[in-house]
Amino acid sequence: MPPRVAIAANRLYGISMRPQELALYGDKVQFSLRYAPMFDDAAEVTAAHYKLLVLEIGALIDDQRAVGQPTGTRLELLKCGWELELSVDPPAQVGKVPELSEEVPLLLGRIADTVNELARRAGLEAPLGPVLIEQMLRDYRRQETDAGS
């Protein structure tokens, strides 16, 4: 019988953001979304499991005068990680708990809310709108499906 898995908590893990540059290079950005369990000992059996979703946004700079960097430099515009804590009953081996369908949408929504609020505080338009979030979720699901094939 598979373990019962429930979301226990979620929290900001870390953020680095360049809101003005994100607005400036918005049409040249590349997205990277990674999601994985976090643990020290792969053999550990526990009731508390942790996962981390990291969204990175960068831009390839083609004009060195724009940022004082050589042409072809990848400029990191955003790196934001959001941690998920899961409660598992009975306790299970870390890294072996199946992913709940709501995990990534929840965490990506939290990242978007945080990034958009920081952009608004800087007087800028929210960079992570609902259409973009839905596209990132579709891309993530497609990658998961391709990896499982």
Determine the pLDDT at residue 64. Answer: 55
Q: Give the CA count within 13 Å in the CB-facing half-sphere of 14.
A: 5
Alpha carbons 49 and 84: distance in angstroms, whole number: 8
What's the pLDDT at 144? 82
Say whether the peptide bond before residue 90 is cis (omega within 30 degrees of 0).
yes
Please tell me the chain's helix, strand, coil percentages from 3-state DSSP, rounded to the nearest 5.
35, 40, 25
Domains of the chain, start order: 4-148 (3.10.420)
Average pLDDT of the residues of the chain: 92
Mean pLDDT to the nearest integer, 1-6: 90
Residues 90-109: pLDDT tens digits?
Answer: 999 999 999 999 999 999 99
Which of 12-16, 25-29, 55-59, 66-70 is predicted least confidently?
66-70
- pLDDT above 80 for 19: yes
> Can you tell me the mean pLDDT for 4-33?
93
Helices 130-148, 103-121: axis angle to 10 degrees equals 150
CA dihedral 4, 10, 14, 15 (to 10 degrees): 120
Please give the angle made by the CA atoms of 35, 88 and 15, to the nearest 5 degrees.
30
Confidence bin at 149 (pLDDT 50/70/90): low
pTM above 0.75, yes or no: yes
pLDDT value at residue 33:
97
Confidence tier at 63 by pLDDT (50, 70, 90): low
Q: What are phi and psi of 80, to 5 degrees?
A: -135, 130
In this prediction, residue 71 carries a pLDDT of 65
Contacts of residue 78, defined as CB under 8 A and 6 or more positions apart, other chains included, come to 15, 16, 17, 18, 22, 55, 56, 57, 115
Percent of the chain whose pLDDT exceeds 90: 76
For residue 38, how many other CB atoms are within 10 A of its CB?
14
